[in-house]
Structure formats: structure tokens, C-alpha cells
Structure 1
């Protein structure tokens, strides 16, 4: 059954003020901490393995499935709550919670304690990203949301780069535990800053319905089950979620084991990781996310198919360089190859987030963003690292010196799966344009 059209601007609204940009900077820093903490475990994998005696498979579970189960599932009720309450307060509380759990990671003395602490981190981080997506979408008008969300999505690469530099440096100089303790303390201070300085924007305040001359009045809270049914019944929203999940299967597996792979099988030291790998992650992923956000704002007004073709083309170009990274006999050559997929692997994020936020009603944005994260993180975050760690353990018996290298080769077919799903998304977008269906 055809659904109501989403809000679209009649004319470009006024430019966002200083307060909007300050809020965006604070939200981006929260995302930095979110991802810095999430990746700290993988960055410090080798010293944690040496201290607690965990296997590659156990690392994959704790960084993947165990974390994702809580992070993904709880994001749905958190999204529903944030759509009905103050999103800024939800975000501030979530930041404080995951930061306290991060401190608990530093006090873990065995694997079960570390698992419990990481699960608690997942509980807190479930309230981080979906409220932020919706806040930003109400701070910036539709014609600037791709750029704003692209800037916000610089949080992961900055967090990863800082995590590599910060975590490896602290671990090399002191202990891996001290890195968790320091990061958790910074997060608690940041939660207070969010609560004090970020104001809750009006829902849909910058959106104008077709034929209207002014933004719509405050929308009623979106009902949970109708929003859920709308999201999964609409092929375009489901396809973009699955395509992102297939892409994240690769990216999370790579990020969770790249440092261990470079150190154990390519010969890098923690000090070298803190400099060279940190720079590669920050510049590569950051450049890919920001550039793809700009492409969205430039190309989508001409054709909505750009939402699908931007990530599909990026992934296709990344494949040969990813294979080169796995094959390279030295860490220096491996990093040169890795620069390209580190950028192109992330061409999916800004288009996907912008598509979902643009295509649903303002009062459905938090829950819809949470549903997007649910699907793509259950597949990518939950299964990617778990799969790669298990495959590495399987190869270890006969190939103890290069088990991770062989495991990384098994990720290549998932590139083809992701590309095929984004091409299916393009067909879905074209079909909706032909029949005039929208949300």
C-alpha cells in the first residue's frame, strides 16, 4: 500500500547556525570515543593474548558476536525510547555507561571477566549512534545532511586512528590495562559535556512537506510496530541494510585482526603500529567516508541511484588492493596496498545513513537508524570477526605461521556478495521511482 511521502524542502532553508556546528563537533567526538573503545580490544590483541592466554577464535567472539548481541538488540528499544523522549539525555547516559564498562575492561584478570565487561560496553554503545543520527538530521536541512552525516561519520576513522596511536603507545610504555582506564575516564567527562552543552532540536523542524511553505509542526511519536513493519516491508530499506551488513562483514573482520596480522605475521612492532597504521586508518577511512558524503550531496539530486552505485563501485575497485595487502611479504608493502581498501571499503556508510534518514518520517529517524544498525551490525560486527577468528584457528594446526593470512583470503568472496546487494539496491530504487512508491 502506498505510504505518505517524506518531507522535502520547498526551498533551501537557512544555513545552520554556530550552535548546530558545535553540537555536530561534540557528537562526532562522542562517536570517536565510541569507536576508539570498540577497536581498542583489537588494537591491543597481542598483549591481551600474551597476558590472558586467549585464542584468535576467542578474540573474534568477544570483539564480534558477544559484543554485537547486546549492542544490536538493545539499539531497538533505545531507538524507540529516544524517538519518544529527549535524545540528548539518552546519548549522555549511554556514553557514561559504556565508559564505566570500559574502565571495567582494564580491571579484568581473566577471559570471562573481559567478556562480561565487553558485553556491558555493548549495552551502553547501543544508545550512541541512533540518537545522534536523528539529532543531526534535525540540526541540518535536507540539502546539507549528506555532508553533515559524512562529517559525523568521521568518528570511526578518527577513533580507530586515535585508538591505534593511543592504545599502542600506552601499551608499549605501560600496560594494556592503563589504556582502558584512561579512555573510560575521558568518556565519563564527555558524557557530562553532552548533557550540558548539546540542546535537543525540534523534530522535523527543518523539513517541509510537499506543497507547504513552512516546516511541519512537531510530529507525534512514531508507533513502534508500524515503524518496524514499514522498515522491513520496504525493499529499499531492507536491501541497504543487508548490503551494509555484507560490507561490514569485511570491514569489522579486517579491523579486528589487522593489527594482530601485521604484528604476528608481517613483523610490525607496537611502536610502528602506533605511527604508520594509525595514520593509514585515520586518513584512509576518514577520506573515504567524507568523500562519499560529498558525492552523495553532489550526485543524489541528479539520481537516487547514486546511493547504491557509490558503494558498489568503491568495493569493486578495492578488491585487487585487498588481495595485495594479504599477499604482501613485508608490512611496509602491505600498508601501501591497504590504503586503497581502507578508503573504498567505507564508501557505503554515508550513502546508507543518508538514504535511511532522508526516506523516513522525522519521528521515525532514531528507530529507523537503529534498525539499520541492527541488521548491518548483527551481520558485520557479530559475524565478521567471529568468522575470521574461527577460520584462523582452523588453519593454525597445519599453518601456524600464516593462519591469519589464509583466513583473510576467505573474505574476498564477501566483496562480491556486497557488490551484488548494492546493485540490487539500485534496481530497487529505480523500481520505486518508476511506480512512485515512497515512505
Structure 2
């Protein structure tokens, strides 16, 4: 899969075209949609305690609704939705998806039972599957080669901003009014945003900014890119690509488990209030995740020049440094001390994402990059988003049934073996990369 069939970047020495004001306007709207995507997703974990108090939801049920039930639709539907967007109007797919997940978010606030809440959250997952793939394609057709990296990096600030705003506004609204109002208000904002996308964002010409680039060989007649099944088989046949996807999945098992239950633990076992969550936990999330993504991206650009294996050993190093701080966070006796210890591991836990995405993009041909990136996300999210929260909720209920005084705290401690598993998997990938590099050098 490593063979490159062509190059679509700017020709050497050619001037780089600059995007106009409308392109930046579109980027701002799409970034806001991405913020809403993660804000809606985070509300359930932020408002877990009041939801449990009113609907009588157990930790296991909370883990299922935030993990497996959501992931079944979000992860699997992302690939066909991306395929559909590639062949149709991407702006309309994005606008419809945003309206759907926003309406479903509002419906969460109207749920009067656990099954109704499950149905609404599943629908949120269906809608959010159409959020990111069309946005990447739209941005790539508004920003020419030489400016796309900057545009996409700004777009990818959506998750940390969304997570921080979800904590701040979700907790504030819930504290002042009710958890139901938080879901409804955020859903209404999303429907308004979807309407703005439909009316204000124009569908760009596909590949229109690549015409001056060095062309790639033309695809076969009737085909718009690399075939689906051969690309899928080649991805999973590659030890490096398969290994990096599984290692990222093991890491996301930890990160999504924490994202879904940290607020609940801070409130239930550390004595934190919703008002305090809205300020202090929001700051930890926003600063920690954004710093981790930015630092790992800056480091991998420099370290990979010396050794390609850095794409795997840098995430392993980040996780290893996070372990003692994670233990200190879980064992802290107050929420203030817990948040102080949580800041660094929040960033270090995300050292895997930029290296992994970059490695996959560099290992495959240009006409395989979109699908290969989708396959990476499929593996990561099915394991991490699908199983991480589900496991932690079940573990908490298990320890409660055993009479443990702090069952959720013990469930967090049980994540430590998964840290060891993820570190070991990344080191194995680093070894495979070195072996592959040596084989290529000896050819």
C-alpha cells in the first residue's frame, strides 16, 4: 500500500494560491459544526449524575448508552456516509446530518425513560456519522495545496473546544435550570446552525483547486478512486497499519472511558459541584487536550525526520508518562488536587492521534487516503468509543455489588492494565516500522 501513484500538491517552485475571505468564512462555519458535534456528544457524560438521579440509570446503562449503543451507529455509518458525500452534494449531507443529530440531542432532553434516551442517543450517532467526512472534503476544495494543512489543523480544534464548551455550558445550564434544558438548548442551536450551513455554504467544485498541480495517473473508466475491497484488504494485511489502528483503539479505550465517567467521579467521589465542573473541569479539558494535540503534532514533525518509528514510540512515551499522574488523579482526596493531577495526563493521553493519522496518510497511495483514514477511525472508535465506556460502567457496578466503598474509583484503577497494553502495542508497531524500513533500504 505504500506505493504512491501520483502527486496532487503544488509543483516545486510554483506560487501557492491564497484562499479568499469566503473560504475562511466557510472554515469558521464548519469548525463550529465540529464544535457542536463534540459538544452534543459530551453532554451525556457531563450531566450523568442528574440523569441518574431522575431516571434511575445505572453506571452500566450509562456506559452502554455513551459507548456501545452510540458507537454501533456512529462508527459503521461513517463509511457509507463518506462514500455518499463523495458522490453527491457534500454541503447538503453535512447540513442534514447536523440537523438530525441536533434534533436528536433535543429529544434526549425530552426522554422520560431509559429506552427513550437510548433511542435518542442512537439517532445522535446516526447524524454525527455525517459530520467529519464531508467537512474534510469541503475544506480541501476551498483551500488549495499549501494552505490545507493550516485549514485542517484549525478545523481539528473543534473537538477540544467542543469538549470544553460542553462542560462549561452544559453544566451551567443544568445547574441554573435542569439537565433537560441543556440538551434542548444545545439541540436548538444545532438546528439553526444546520440551516445556516444549507443557506450560506456553497458546494465547491470537487478537485477544482488541484488543476494546476502535477496530475496523478487517471483512474480507470467508471471508477472515482481506489476500489473499496482491495483497499480494505490491503489495510488490514499491513502489519504497520493494522498495528497502529489496534494500538490507537487500546488508547481510546482509556480516553473514552475517562471522558464518559470523569465528571461523575469528580462529583460523586471528590465532592465537586456542577457549577465548579462548568469552570474548572472545562479549563482542564480545553487546555489539556488542545495542548496534547498541538505538542504531539509539533514533536512528530521533527522526530519522524530522524526515525520513522517515532510515529509509534512517541505515543508510547506519552502514555508511559501519563500513568503515574493518572494514579495520582484517581487517588486524590479532593477535586482540586484531582484536577491538578489530571491536566497533564489529559494531554499525554492524546499524543497518539496526530502521529497515527499522519502515519496512515504517508503509508498509502493518495487515492487510498480517505478510505484508509476512515478505516483507522472505524477500528479506533469501535474499540475505544464502543467498549471503553461500556467496560468502565460495568466495572463500577461490579465493584458496587461487591460492597466496595468507592466503586467508580476502583473501576478507574482497573484501567491501568489497558495503559500497559496500549504502550506494549505501540512499541510493537515501532519495531515493525524499523523492520519495514530496513527491508526497504535493502531492496
Match of 1:188 in 2: 191
In terms of mean alpha carbon deviation, does 187-196 or 403-412 score higher?
187-196
Is 1:77 matched with 2:45? no
Shift of residue 241, structure 1, vs aligned partner: 1.3
Q: In structure 2, do the counterparts of structure 1 residues 435 and 5 end up closer, same or farther at CA, with 3 Å as the change threshold?
A: farther
Tell me the SS of whatever aligns to 1:17: coil
Is 1:7 matched with 2:1? no
Residues of 2 paired with 1:306 and 1:141: CA distance?
29
Match of 1:330 in 2: 334
In terms of mean alpha carbon deviation, does 249-258 or 289-298 score higher?
289-298
Q: In structure 2, do the counterparts of structure 1 residues 131 and 192 end up closer, same or farther at CA, with 3 Å as the change threshold?
A: same
Tell whether the 8 Å contact from 1:141 to 1:207 is kept in structure 2 after alignment.
Answer: no
Residues of 2 paired with 1:201 and 1:298: CA distance?
35
Residues of 1 paired with 2:101 and 2:189: CA distance?
11
Residues of 1 paired with 2:308 and 2:142: CA distance?
23
Residues of 2 paired with 1:366 and 1:154: CA distance?
20
Shift of residue 183, structure 1, vs aligned partner: 1.0
Which digits, 9 at most, give the CA deviation of each residue in 1:343-371, with x for residues without a partner?
11111122222333444444444332321
Match of 2:321 in 1: 317
Listed as ranges, the matches of 1:4-153 within 5 Å are: 4-5=4-5, 7=7, 9=9, 11=12, 14=16, 16-18=18-20, 19-136=22-139, 148-153=151-156
Tell whether the 8 Å contact from 1:251 to 1:345 is kept in structure 2 after alignment.
Answer: yes
In terms of mean alpha carbon deviation, does 106-115 or 7-16 score higher?
7-16
Tell me the SS of whatever aligns to 2:378: helix
Shift of residue 303, structure 1, vs aligned partner: 4.0
In terms of mean alpha carbon deviation, does 28-37 or 112-121 score higher?
28-37
Shift of residue 328, structure 1, vs aligned partner: 0.5
Q: In structure 2, do the counterparts of structure 1 residues 249 and 337 end up closer, same or farther at CA, with 3 Å as the change threshold?
A: same
Q: Which ranges in structure 2 are unaligned for 5 or more consecutive residues? A: none
Residues of 1 paired with 2:165 and 2:288: CA distance?
13
Match of 1:229 in 2: 233
Residues of 2 paired with 1:33 and 1:218: CA distance?
38
In terms of mean alpha carbon deviation, does 198-207 or 334-343 score higher?
198-207
Shift of residue 249, structure 1, vs aligned partner: 0.3
Shift of residue 32, structure 1, vs aligned partner: 1.0
In terms of mean alpha carbon deviation, does 295-304 or 280-289 score higher?
295-304
Listed as ranges, the matches of 1:39-438 within 5 Å are: 39-136=42-139, 148-195=151-198, 196-197=200-201, 199-200=203-204, 202-203=206-207, 205-206=209-210, 214-216=214-216, 220-222=223-225, 223-399=227-403, 401-436=405-440
**TM-score between both structures, scaled by the size of structure 2:** 0.89
Q: Which ranges in structure 1 are unaligned for 5 or more consecutive residues? A: none
Tell whether the 8 Å contact from 2:173 to 2:179 is kept in structure 1 after alignment.
Answer: yes
Shift of residue 290, structure 1, vs aligned partner: 2.1
**TM-score between both structures, scaled by the size of structure 1:** 0.90
Q: In structure 2, do the counterparts of structure 1 residues 198 and 114 end up closer, same or farther at CA, with 3 Å as the change threshold?
A: same
Residues of 1 paired with 2:295 and 2:154: CA distance?
10
Tell whether the 8 Å contact from 1:95 to 1:187 is kept in structure 2 after alignment.
Answer: yes
Which digits, 9 at most, give the CA deviation of each residue in 1:127-152, with x for residues without a partner?
11233344445555777666544433
Tell whether the 8 Å contact from 1:12 to 1:143 is kept in structure 2 after alignment.
Answer: no
Tell whether the 8 Å contact from 1:202 to 1:218 is kept in structure 2 after alignment.
Answer: no
In terms of mean alpha carbon deviation, does 84-93 or 356-365 score higher?
356-365
Residues of 1 paired with 2:318 and 2:208: CA distance?
32
Q: In structure 2, do the counterparts of structure 1 residues 231 and 180 end up closer, same or farther at CA, with 3 Å as the change threshold?
A: same
Shift of residue 187, structure 1, vs aligned partner: 1.3
Residues of 2 paired with 1:351 and 1:277: CA distance?
26
Shift of residue 301, structure 1, vs aligned partner: 4.4
Shift of residue 190, structure 1, vs aligned partner: 1.9
Which digits, 9 at most, give the CA deviation of each residue in 1:352-395, with x for residues without a partner?
22333444444444332321111101100000000000000000
Residues of 2 paired with 1:45 and 1:275: CA distance?
17
Aligned length, in residue pairs: 433
Shift of residue 285, structure 1, vs aligned partner: 0.7
Tell whether the 8 Å contact from 1:166 to 1:274 is kept in structure 2 after alignment.
Answer: yes
